[in-house]
Chains A and B, each alone.
Chain A
């Protein structure tokens, strides 16, 4: 069975600090897909990134970067120079290649103080 663990329930930082959100996953499939979503206070989840199990390249998009490591089953998300607008709940999700039904972690609430 697939499982996603986001051990950090809440993180509080001051603006301009760097912050890393951890995501550890479990799956028996060799083909799987990992995702990060952002849920701002309005409630609607917004897709941030997708990675498949065959692509371990790290990705950078502006202030956001993602570190995918199969050896540790982790897919961590770093925000550089955080801003107040980054305040949200962030979810990591896993979709196995056999079932295609996503499993979400419990989310990490990020609070960025001015």
Chain B
């Protein structure tokens, strides 16, 4: 089946820890995106990548980092510099003039 997988579904982080969220796609799409969703805030763009080995900051990149070593994979690291990381994180592919395809999301909670 073609699609996007995100893992884990739920993630708990202690103060000061870095955590990495996984996003994998087999849709053969060049572009991949990470969004953060908070209640009442809609989707805010963290990072995006339009091609392997290249990525750009979105609107709220501070405290996050990404890599794009393979077309299929676009992991997001939430660093200790992100002061309020509790949120729902969504990975997507596609975009541009076409619709995006979204993964099931990862819910991150800081303990």
Contacts and interface: CB of A to CB of B under 8 A. Distances in A.
Interface of A: 6, 9, 33, 35, 37, 42-47, 50, 52, 91, 93, 95, 97, 100-102, 104-107
A42 B25 CA distance: 19
A46 B43 CA distance: 14
A33 B97 contact: yes
A43 B96 contact: no
B42 A104 contact: yes
A91 B45 contact: no
Interface residues of B, number: 25
The interface residues of chain B, by DSSP majority, are classed as strand
Given A91-B42, A102-B95, A104-B43, A44 B105 contact: yes
A37 B99 CA distance: 9
Nearest to B42: A106
A102 B33 CA distance: 10
24 contacts: A33-B97, A35-B99, A35-B100, A37-B102, A43-B88, A43-B107, A44-B102, A44-B105, A46-B102, A47-B99, A47-B101, A52-B97, A91-B42, A95-B97, A100-B95, A102-B95, A102-B100, A104-B35, A104-B42, A104-B43, A105-B42, A106-B41, A106-B42, A107-B42
A100 B101 contact: no
Contacts of B95: 95, 100-102
The 3 lowest CB-CB distance pairs between A and B, nearest first, are: A106-B42, A100-B96, A45-B102
Contacts of B2: none
